[in-house]
Amino acid sequence: MTSNAAQQLEQHLRQELGKVVFGMDDTLHGLVIAWLANGHVLLEGVPGLGKTLLAKALAQLIGGSFGRIQGTADLMPTDMTGLHVFNSHQNSFDFVPGPLFNQVVLVDEINRTGPKTQSALLQAMEENFVTIDRQTYALAAGFFLIAAQNPYDFEGVYPLLESQLDRFLIRLLLGYPDADTEMAVLSRYDKPGGGHGAVLPTICALPDGLLAQARAEAAAVHVDTSLYQYVVQVAAASRNHPRLSLGLSTRGALSVMRCARVEAALQGRSYLLPDDIKTVAPWVVGHRLLPTAEAMLEGYTALQIYQELDSQIAVPRSGAAG
């Protein structure tokens, strides 16, 4: 059976990035979905799991530039966006772009930055522009941001703003690798310099036109009206759930549909099924739902509450009609 462009893209990405990172199959699948859906990714996990190496390798595969921002408590918005510097020779202010002006950007430990600095990313992630000193600058075409977040029980972290979380298309949780995967990491990167100082395998860039073709396939996926109604019902139920103080926004519901379209294309189908929505929904809704204080004290997580409310909503029998 001949694979479509979306499947070829995922196969190429897995093959090439698999030369550098190990045991990240689910993470790579989530990255493909976010990339094809033209959204941004929030990676949550403890330090030292290969998030920076993954982002660098992805930039090489895309054939684009890579920028890294280290989140700290004293990081300022201009450290990310850039600033105007006075040029004494020309008696004018020249704009010096910050790391956000790369095609692939990693913001490491994003929740170590304060709310003011986090807010500098809102326009960039939503509009692909930044405004500095009343001047607006376009970011790189295909701007793709990967942010790494420490668990909230770490010291010195600031919870991300609700509006900031809503800008991330999906959140992927990174856990510790299994024994075999960790053995592979140790045997590859135990030399001086580690993963970033080692000579890495050559990563073949993505074939020209494959990304655009894969996105076109996702856009052409047929969606039955019943599936739109199903997602709307899930969103409405989350907004009225007694254990949630913040439900799914319209942007969140739209993100579910965008990711589900890509999932259908990655499965080689031209139509959407309820299973596509159920596959991607935990990645999309988990960071957008905010449990009440009482629910958190009782030990409920956002994903547990979502699964509870989703189980109470009738699932359409099929999305293939039409």
pLDDT exceeds 60 at position 125 = yes
Q: What is the pLDDT of residues 261-271, one digit of tens each?
A: 999 999 999 99
Q: What is the pLDDT of residues 80-99, one digit of tens each?
A: 999 989 888 888 888 899 99
Q: Would you mind telling me the total number of residues written for the chain in this entry?
A: 322
Range of the domain at 137: 5-210
Looking at the structure of the chain, the number of domains it has is: 2
Return the beta strands (E) in the chain as ranges.
41-44, 66-70, 82-87, 92-97, 104-108, 129-132, 135-138, 144-149, 170-173, 244-246, 290-291
pLDDT exceeds 90 at position 281 = yes
pLDDT exceeds 70 at position 194 = no
Instruction: Tell me, yes or no, whether 121 and 189 share the same domain.
Output: yes
The region that residue 48 occupies, defined by phi over 0 for left and psi between -120 and 50 for alpha, beta otherwise, is left
Model-level pTM greater than 0.85? Answer: yes
Mean pLDDT in residue range 282-296 = 93
What CATH number corresponds to the domain at position 29? Answer: 3.40.50.300
Mean pLDDT in residue range 24-44 = 93
Q: Are 105 and 99 in contact (CB under 8 A)?
A: yes
Instruction: State residue 200's pLDDT score.
Output: 58
Rounded Cα gap, residues 268 and 257, in angstroms? 17
Instruction: Tell me, yes or no, whether 224 and 192 share the same domain.
Output: no
Instruction: Tell me, yes or no, whether 281 and 138 share the same domain.
Output: no
Domain termination residue (choose one: 189, 210, 231): 210
Mean pLDDT in residue range 280-303 = 93
Instruction: Tell me, yes or no, whether 252 and 300 share the same domain.
Output: yes
Instruction: State residue 321's pLDDT score.
Output: 45
pLDDT exceeds 80 at position 274 = yes
Instruction: Tell me, yes or no, whether 159 and 230 share the same domain.
Output: no
